[in-house]
Structure 1
Amino acid sequence: MPLVLTEEQAMLRDAARGFLSEHAPIAHFRKLRDAKDPLGFSRDLWRSMGEMGWAGVLVPEAFGGSGLGYVEAGVILEEAGRTLTPSPLLSTAVVAATLLNRFGSDAQKQKYLPGIAKGEAVLALAVDEAPKHKPEAVALTATRSGNGFRLSGTKVLVLDGAAADTLIVAARTAGSAGETDGVTLFLVDGAAKGLARDATVLVDYRNAARLTLDNVEVDADAVLGTLDQGFGALAVGLDAGRAGLAAELVGSASQTFDLTVDYLKERKQFGRTIGEFQALQHRASHLFTELELARAASLKALQTLDAKPDGAGPIVSLAKAKAGSVAKLASQEGVQMFGGMGMTDDVDVGLFMKRIRVAQEVFGDPAFHADRIARLRGY
C-alpha cells in the first residue's frame, strides 16, 4: 500500500488536530500537572473522545464503536503526541480494545467494549514486573482455587493503572518465568479485594501504577483468551500498543521540530537569525529526513496491523525502534538549539523531551526491538 493517508484519514487527522488544539493544548497538560491530578487525565475529555468516536476507534459498530482501523487510531495518537494530550487512548482504546476484540468471549465483549466506546471505561494492561520491558518474564502466579484462580505478585509501570476500572493482568498458570508457555491473561476488577495500587508519577508527569496482588480471587470467566496460551494474545496487544506509541512519538517529534524551526527563525546572534547559520541548517535538514523515515515506518506498521496483524511483529518493532530513536534525536536537537532555556519550564520543548524518553521505554526501547527483530528473523 502507498505510504500516504487516504482522503478520509487526512480529514480525521485535521479534525483531531483542530479538536486537540482547542480542547487539549499543552496548557491543558500543564494544568493537570500543576494540580497534581490523581488520575493524570480528564474524565470529561475522555468522554468527549467517546462522543467523537475516538475512544471506540477499534471497537466494532455492533458494540457502539466506530469500527475503524489501526491507521485511524495512529492518526489520532500522532495528533495527541503533538499536544502531549494525557488520556487513556493508548491503554484503553488501542491495547485493551485489541485484546478484547481478538480474544474476548461474547460476554466479555458485551461487558467492556460499549463502555470503552463511550469514553466511560478505563482499562489497563499489567505485564512488566521489572524496570526493563521483558514480557516473557511473567512471574506473577495464578493458582487454581475452586472454580477460579488466586493471583499473587507485583506489576510495575502500568499505564493508567491507578485510574483503571479493570486491569488485564498477565499471570503465570504454568511453567516458570522466561517461558512463553504457561502465561494467561485475566480481567481483574479494579476494586478487587487484595489488589493494592501505588500511583507513580513518571518523569513526564504522566501517571502509572505499581500493582500488588495478594491472593486476588477471580473466577474462570475472568480468563481472557486461552488458559496457559496467553502469550500470543499478549504479543498482539503489545504490538498494537507499540504501533500506537510509534505514532505518538512521531507526533511529539514533529511538534518538537516545528517549535525548534520557529525558534531558529526568531533567535538572533551576531546580528543574524541563528537559522541562517549553515551548521544549524544541516542539523535541521538531517532531522527532517529522519522524521519522514520514522513517519513512513509508523504508517507501514499500522497498515500491516490492519491487513495481517499476526505477521506484523517485525515491522511494528522496526517502527517503535525508529520512532523512539528519531524522537530522542528531535528532543535533543531542540533543547540544544534553544540553549539552556530549552530545559526550563517556560519552554515546551523540555516537556516533549521528558515525554519522549518515557514513551521510548514503554513496551520496549530500541535495543529491545532490535533484538526482537533478530529473533523473529531466526538469528
Structure 2
Amino acid sequence: MSERATFVQALRDFAERECGTREQRRALTAGGITHNQDLYRKLADLGWVGCALPEEYGGGGGTATDACHVIEEMAYGQAPLFGLGVTMVGATVVERFGTEEQKRDILGAVCRGDVIATAISEPGAGSDPGAMTCRAERRGDTYVLNGQKTWISCAHIATRIQVLCRTDSTGGKHEGITMIDVPADAPGIEIRPIATLGGDEVNDVYFTDVTVSADRVIGDEGKAWHQIMRTLNTDRLMCGALFLGHARRSFDDAVEYVREREQFGRPIGSFQAIRHRIADLATELECCRLLVYESAARLDLDPERCVPREASMVKLKVTETAKRIAVEGMQLLGGAGYTTEHDMERHLRESIVSTVYAGTSEIQREVIGRSYGL
C-alpha cells in the first residue's frame, strides 16, 4: 500500500471510529451543531488539520492533495467538522500573504485546533464583493472597523475572523480593500446566527468601533481583492473535495438501499430503470473525483499558479453533481428518503446549498466563460 493510500485509510478509520454509527453522529451533533470542537481537536492532534501547512509552523508539510483527502474523507464519514475547510482556506491566506509573526501565531493556532472564519459577503455585496462598504479607518497604530458582514461561516466558533473591509474609497471598487485579522471576541463585535436548513452554520457579524492593532493587516493595505481572488481558487478546490465526499456518501447509501429493497419479488436495483440511473450517477461521480484530484495535483506542482478556470470547473461540476445525486437518492429511496430514519434527507439538506455558497454556479460559469475570452 502506498503512503498516500495508507493516509487515506487512516482518515477513514478515524471517521469510522469516531462517528461511524448514527448514535455517535447524533451525540456529536446534539442541538443541531454542525461543528464539534472536541472532534476537531482530535483531528488537529493527529496533525491532519494542518497537514498542508509548513512544518516550521507546526504543520505536516503536505500538499493541496493531502488537504483534499482530509476534507473528502471527513465529509464521507459524516464527521461534523464544518469549520475544517473554512479554516484550511483561511490558513492558506496567512501562509501566502502573512508576516512571519502572523504565520507563527495564526498557523500555529490552526495546527492546534483553532477555527478561522473569513468575512467577505455583505447584505449588498454577495456575488459582487467589490461593492462592499464595511470600513476600517486608520487611526495612528490602529484600525477602527464599522459595518456588517453576512453569511459568515463559522464566525460563532472561530477564535479570529479575517475581515475584508474598505480602507480607501478613492480608487476603483476593487481597490482600497484590506484584510484584517480580528479577534472574534474583540469589543464591539456582535455575532448573530442565521437559521438555515443546514443547521448552525452561518452568521451575521456586526462591527461597531472595533479597534485592532495595525499589525493585524494581512498582506498589503488596499490589495486584499487580489489576495482573495487567488485564495478563492483554493476555496473552490476545497469546496469540491467537500462535496465529493458528500456525493460519494449519498451515492453509496442509495446503492445500498436499492440492493436491499425488494418489490415485485426482487431487489429494485435489478430493474433496468434503476440500474441505468445508478450507472449515470457513478460515471458523473468518477468525473468529479478525477477533476478534483487533477486540479489539486496541478496546484501541488506550482502552488503560486493562479487557476481560476480549473477551480471554477471543480466548484461547478462537483456541487451540481452532489446536488443531483442527493435528489436522485431521495427519489430512489422513495418515502424512506424523506424520513430522518435514513441519512438521505440530511445529504439533500447539506448538498442543496452547495451550488450557492463559495460562489454560485452562475458565477462559476461566468469565470469559466470569461477565461476563454468571451
Shorter-normalised TM range: over 0.9
Displacement, 1:227? Answer: 0.6
3-state DSSP of counterpart to 2:282: helix
Equivalent residue, structure 2, for 1:3: none
Equivalent residue, structure 1, for 2:152: 158
> Aligned in 2, Cα 1:208/1:32: closer, same or farther, shift over 3 Å?
farther
Displacement, 1:182? Answer: 1.6
- The correspondence of residues 187-336 of structure 1 with structure 2, limited to 5 A, is 187-309=181-303, 310-336=305-331
Higher mean Cα deviation, 168-177 or 281-290?
168-177
Contact 1:151 1:215 in 2 (8 A): yes
Displacement, 1:176? Answer: 7.8
Q: Aligned pair 1:124/2:117, yes or no?
A: yes
Displacement, 1:373? Answer: 1.6
Q: Aligned pair 1:357/2:352, yes or no?
A: yes
3-state DSSP of counterpart to 2:354: helix
Q: Which amino acid aligns with 2:115?
A: V
3-state DSSP of counterpart to 1:158: strand
Q: Which amino acid aligns with 1:123?
A: I
> Aligned in 2, Cα 1:60/1:32: closer, same or farther, shift over 3 Å?
same
- Structure 1 unaligned regions, length at least 5: 1-5
Relative to the length of structure 1, the TM-score reads 0.92
3-state DSSP of counterpart to 2:154: coil
3-state DSSP of counterpart to 2:61: coil
Higher mean Cα deviation, 127-136 or 57-66?
127-136
Contact 1:300 1:315 in 2 (8 A): no
Q: Aligned pair 1:347/2:368, yes or no?
A: no
Contact 1:138 1:178 in 2 (8 A): no
Q: Aligned pair 1:83/2:60, yes or no?
A: no
> Aligned in 2, Cα 1:301/1:26: closer, same or farther, shift over 3 Å?
farther
Q: Which amino acid aligns with 2:112?
A: K
Cα distance in 2 for partners of 1:369, 1:26 equals 36
Contact 1:137 1:177 in 2 (8 A): no
Encode CA deviations 1:268-288: one digit per residue, 9 max, x unaligned.
Answer: 111121111111111110111
Contact 1:264 1:273 in 2 (8 A): yes
Contact 1:82 1:255 in 2 (8 A): yes
Q: Aligned pair 1:171/2:162, yes or no?
A: no
> Aligned in 2, Cα 1:134/1:42: closer, same or farther, shift over 3 Å?
same
Q: Aligned pair 1:30/2:26, yes or no?
A: yes
Higher mean Cα deviation, 238-247 or 71-80?
238-247
Q: Aligned pair 1:370/2:371, yes or no?
A: no
Q: Which amino acid aligns with 2:234?
A: A
> Aligned in 2, Cα 1:141/1:378: closer, same or farther, shift over 3 Å?
farther
3-state DSSP of counterpart to 1:216: strand
> Aligned in 2, Cα 1:328/1:178: closer, same or farther, shift over 3 Å?
farther
Q: Which amino acid aligns with 1:58?
A: A
| Pairwise CA RMSD | 1.9
Encode CA deviations 1:181-223: one digit per residue, 9 max, x unaligned.
Answer: 2211000011111110012343122422210111211221011
Displacement, 1:137? Answer: 3.0
Q: Which amino acid aligns with 1:127?
A: I
3-state DSSP of counterpart to 2:353: helix
Q: Identify which of 63, 68, 71 aligns with 1:69.
A: 63
3-state DSSP of counterpart to 1:180: coil
Q: Aligned pair 1:149/2:143, yes or no?
A: yes
Contact 1:33 1:205 in 2 (8 A): no
3-state DSSP of counterpart to 1:371: helix
Equivalent residue, structure 2, for 1:9: 4
Contact 1:140 1:152 in 2 (8 A): yes
Encode CA deviations 1:115-157: one digit per residue, 9 max, x unaligned.
Answer: 11122x2211111114854333322111222222211111112
Contact 1:77 1:89 in 2 (8 A): yes
Higher mean Cα deviation, 153-162 or 172-181?
172-181
> Aligned in 2, Cα 1:349/1:108: closer, same or farther, shift over 3 Å?
same
Equivalent residue, structure 2, for 1:108: 102
> Aligned in 2, Cα 1:104/1:66: closer, same or farther, shift over 3 Å?
same
Q: Aligned pair 1:98/2:92, yes or no?
A: yes
> Aligned in 2, Cα 1:176/1:290: closer, same or farther, shift over 3 Å?
farther
Contact 1:162 1:197 in 2 (8 A): yes
Percent identical residues: 30
Cα distance in 2 for partners of 1:111, 1:298 equals 31
Relative to the length of structure 2, the TM-score reads 0.94
Q: Identify which of 7, 11, 15 aligns with 1:20.
A: 15
Cα distance in 2 for partners of 1:143, 1:378 equals 38
Displacement, 1:165? Answer: 0.6
Q: Aligned pair 1:182/2:199, yes or no?
A: no
Q: Aligned pair 1:43/2:43, yes or no?
A: no
Contact 2:29 2:80 in 1 (8 A): no
3-state DSSP of counterpart to 2:153: coil
